[in-house]
Amino acid sequence: MGRLKGVSTMVTLKELTKEEHWLPGNATCAGCGAAIAIRLAQKALGPRTVFVVPACCTSVIQSPFPFTAFATPCLNIAFEAAAAAASGVVAAYEARGLKDVTVLAWAGDGGTVDIGIQALSGAAERGTNFLYVCYDNEAYGNTGFQRSGSSPYGSRTTTTPTGKKEHKKDVPMIMAAHGIPYVATACISYPLDFVSKLRKAKELVGTKYIQVLTPCSAGWRYSTERTIEMGRLAVQTGIWALFEIEHGKFRLSTPSAALVDRTKRRPVEEYLKEQGRFDQLTPKDVEEIKRWIDATWEKYKKLQLNV
């Protein structure tokens, strides 16, 4: 915990609200990473937050009618339409002069990286004043774990049974290319980092995009108690980097900052071997993953040095 470099607000666990707006007794799988992310987001943003949720795991884990685990308002919407529906809510609040409500599009990687990217890009290009969080379990979790553009190279999904042949689509950089005021990556295993980023984003005007890694026991195939551990390994091996791009300025977050030095990155095998979705990787696949990590970090190094 302690001071987090590069994030201006200092947050501690103790000061997070004890109020729960994500109610227990819901429909999540045991050990659900997405649910942890929802709780953190609600604690970061407060109850005056409207969730706009396209088809994704969150559509289901909230429980079926007539009850909901969301104690904050939640508009479910079609798969590709989160950012467009959120744009409408924002416009209505602006038209009505309602100022102190946060509109939060809360979408899985499917509804963001693939089918949802048009609406997201449109909303960002229009400078829509909202927060968009993509919680990323690296596949279409809701429907049983089919590949998404966010699935990593080599991962087994039900539509890539011999492993995905393409690398993960870099949506944070795509969003940064829109010139929006704030882009960040996060991970539920670094909860205070995620909370700080959400709070910072909330204070900015314009489109704010955060992509938070939310490991999924059912899909990644590891024992349920290791959800937080998997997120930590993802960051420590460098396969998922924590950073912010604030008004175009790139800055690695504390948990990732030292990893520009590749000797400080844990070997990615330590992450891959723990998950059933990677159990058919060949040595060539592992080399390709390492190459990608190294190449990605070369990019980050250059961006960081421009600071």
Task: Return the SS3 of 8.
Answer: coil
By the rule CB under 8 A, 230 interacts with another protein = no
Q: Least distance to another protein from the beta carbon of 300, Å?
A: 27
Q: Least distance to another protein from the beta carbon of 55, Å?
A: 10
- Rule CB under 8 A: choose which of 4, 7, 36, 268 binds another protein: 36
- Rule CB under 8 A: choose which of 5, 8, 10, 67 binds another protein: 67
Return the closest-CA partner of residue 2 out of 197, 240, 14, 304. 14
Within 10 A of 96 (CB to CB), how many other CB atoms are there? Answer: 8
By the rule CB under 8 A, 16 interacts with another protein = yes
Which range, of 92-100, 153-161, 265-273, 297-305, touches another protein by CB under 8 A? 92-100
Partnered with residue 102 across adjacent β-strands are 49
Side chain identity at 74, as an amino acid letter?
C
Site residues (CB under 8 A) for another protein, limited to 241-300: none
Closer to another protein at the Cβ: 28 or 196? 28
By the rule CB under 8 A, 101 interacts with another protein = yes
Q: Least distance to another protein from the beta carbon of 170, Å?
A: 21
Site residues (CB under 8 A) for another protein, limited to 181-220: 188, 191, 217
Q: Least distance to another protein from the beta carbon of 254, Å?
A: 18
Q: Distance between CA atoms of 52 and 165, rounded to whole angstroms?
A: 32
Tokens standing for residue 287: 């080399």
By the rule CB under 8 A, 13 interacts with another protein = yes
Return the closest-CA partner of residue 42 out of 62, 67, 72. 72
Return the closest-CA partner of residue 234 out of 209, 200, 208, 211. 211
* Tally of residues, the chain: 307
DSSP state of 147: -
- Rule CB under 8 A: choose which of 4, 44, 57, 87 binds another protein: 87
